[in-house]
Copies of this chain bind each other. A is one copy, B any other.
Amino acid sequence: MACNTVLEALLDALGEDVVQFGERIAYRRNADWSGVPAAQPLAVLCPRTTQQVSQALAICHEYRQPVVVQGGLSGLAGAACTQEHDIALSLERMNVIEEIDEVSGTMTVQAGAILQTVQERAAAIGMMFPLDLGARGSCTIGGNLGSNAGGNRVIKYGMVREQVLDLEAVLADGRIIGGLRKMVKNNTGFDLKNLLIGSEGTLGIITRAVLRLRPQPAAVATACCGLADYDSVTALLCTAQQRLASGVSAFEVMWPGYYNYVLANISGLKPPLPAQHNYYVLLESMGTEPERQQADFERLLQECLETGVIEDAAVATTQRDALDFWSVRDAPAEFPVLMPKLIAFDVSFSIRDIGQAAQDCAAGLGARWPGCTVLVYGHLGDGNLHLIVDVPGAAAETVEQVEALVYGLVNEYNGSVSAEHGIGLKKRNVLGLTRSASDLDAMRAIKLALDPHDILNRGKVLPDRY
C-alpha cells in the first residue's frame, strides 16, 4: 500500500499496537525533570523488539520525520522532551532482563529495563550493578547510557560507560549496529559503543546492552567528618584512597551554607555533627570483610583526628545511622519545593581547583545579588560540584545572568559545564564553553555522517551554527 504520510507508513508497518496517537497518548508526559517545556508529539511508538525500532527508524528516515527516544523521563537537561512535530519512541515495552551470566559476571538487558530492577536482580545473585542515582526507580538503562549517567559511586566504579561491555543500537536509517559480546577486551576498530553512550539519543537508539556486574560488598563503613579548610578535604581524600584496603566508594562534600540550610529547612534530618565546620565530608568505603571493615575505617579517622586533617567525625554504627547521614546529602530532592525558582548547576573542575572555584562562585553571586542563597555540595572525588542558587524576587533575566556568572567561572577554571547531567536542550548554548569550535565541528560531521537527515533528537546537544 502506498502511504501518503509517515503515520500511515508507520501504521502499515507496525500496526496500532506499536503506533499510538490521538486520544491514546493524551495522558502521556512528554517532559522530563528538567523543566524544559514539551510539546505533544505526533505519535508515540512503543516497539517490542529491536527489529521494530529498526523498521520505525527506517520509515522516519525516509520521511525525514524527527524522532525523540524516551526512557524514564527523569533527565535533567531536556534531551527527552518532545518539540513541535516530533514523534516520540518509548522503550517502555523493551524492559526484559534477557540473561544473567554469573560466571562471566554479566547481565544482558533491553534498554527499557528500570535501573532499580537491574540492581535488584544483580543483588539476588550476590553481585552488584554499581550505578546508583536518585531516579533509580524510574530511570532506564537506555536513558542511563544515553546520558552517560554518573551518581554517587563513580569514584570507585566509574561512570556508566565503564559498566557496559557491549551494546546494540539502531542508527537513524534503521541499520542495527553493535552486539551483545561479553568481553572486557575487544579492540576491533572504532569505539562506536562509547560514541553512542552520552550522545543523548542524537546518534542512534540504544536497544540492548551487556552490563558488567561486580562483587556485592559485604560491608559498608560510613562517616561524616568536619574539616577546617579545603587542603584538609583533599588530604582526607588522598589518605583514605591510599589507606583503605577497599578504597573509597563515596566522597561527598557539603559546604557549610548547604549543611546549615538543609538542617534548618528540612524536617526530620538529624545533624551528624554540630554546625561548626567549614567543610563536611560524607565518607564511605565498601569492603569485603565485615569484621574488620569498621575497625580499619575508625582507625583511619582516629589518625586523621590526631594529625589534624579532620576536626571531628561521626561514624555510623548502624545502617540507620548511615541512612541518616545520607539523608543530609540527599536533601536536594526537597529543594524545588523550598525554592521553586532555584537555578541548579552540575559542573566539574579539577579536584585541585574546586575549593577556590566554589569560593569564587559564592563570592561573585553574593556581591551581585546580596541576600541570594548559594548552596554548594558535590561528588568531590570526581571533581563534580552541584550549586543551587536562589535569588529572591529575581526578574526573568536573572537566570541568564546567574548562569553567565557561574559558567564564566567554569570556563576560567577550565572546568566543564556539564559533569553528569548532559547537554540536551538546556545547555546547548553553553556547550561551546567546554568544547572548542573544532570539537563542535567534528561532532557535527559525525552527526551528519550517521544521521544525514537529522531525524534523531533534532536540535538537541549541538548548538546552532552562528
Contacts and interface: CB of A to CB of B under 8 A. Distances in A.
Interface of A: 101-106, 126, 147-148, 150, 154-155, 158-159, 161-162, 171, 175-192, 194-195, 197-199, 203, 215-216, 218, 234, 238, 241-246, 287-289, 292, 348-353, 379, 381-384, 414-423, 427, 431, 434-436, 438-443, 445-450, 461-462
For A190, A417, A423, which residue has the most chain B Cβ atoms within 10 angstroms?
A190
A114 B5 CA distance: 60
Contacts of A103: 234, 238, 350-352
Contact of A188 (B246, B292, B435): B435
Given A189-B431, A190-B198, A191-B199, 4 more contacts: A105-B238, A171-B438, A183-B348, A187-B418
Contacts of A415: 181, 183
Tally of this chain's copies: 2
B175 A441 contact: yes
A442 B246 CA distance: 41
Nearest to A150: B185
A350 B104 contact: yes
Given A182-B350, A383-B104, A442-B192, A187 B245 contact: no
B185 A382 contact: yes
A298 to B, nearest CB: 15
Contact of A101 (B159, B192, B352, B447): B352
A351 B245 contact: no
Contacts of A352: 101, 103-104, 182
A348 B176 CA distance: 23
A191 B190 contact: no
Contacts of A189: 198-199, 423, 431, 435, 439-440, 443, 461-462
Contacts of A181: 350, 414-416, 434
Given A177-B438, A245-B287, A449-B448, A195 B190 contact: yes
For A184, A187, A419, A441, which residue has the most chain B Cβ atoms within 10 angstroms?
A187
A412 to B, nearest CB: 13
A379 to B, nearest CB: 7
A391 B161 CA distance: 42
A189 to B, nearest CB: 5
B421 A350 contact: no
A31 to B, nearest CB: 20
B188 A417 contact: yes
A123 to B, nearest CB: 14
B176 A438 contact: yes
A17 B336 CA distance: 62
B383 A183 contact: yes
A423 B354 CA distance: 41
Given A184-B382, A186-B419, A434-B188, A195 B198 contact: no
A106 B194 contact: no
Query: Which 5 A-B pairs give the minimum distances between C-beta atoms?
Result: A194-B194, A182-B350, A245-B245, A449-B449, A185-B419
A178 B435 CA distance: 7
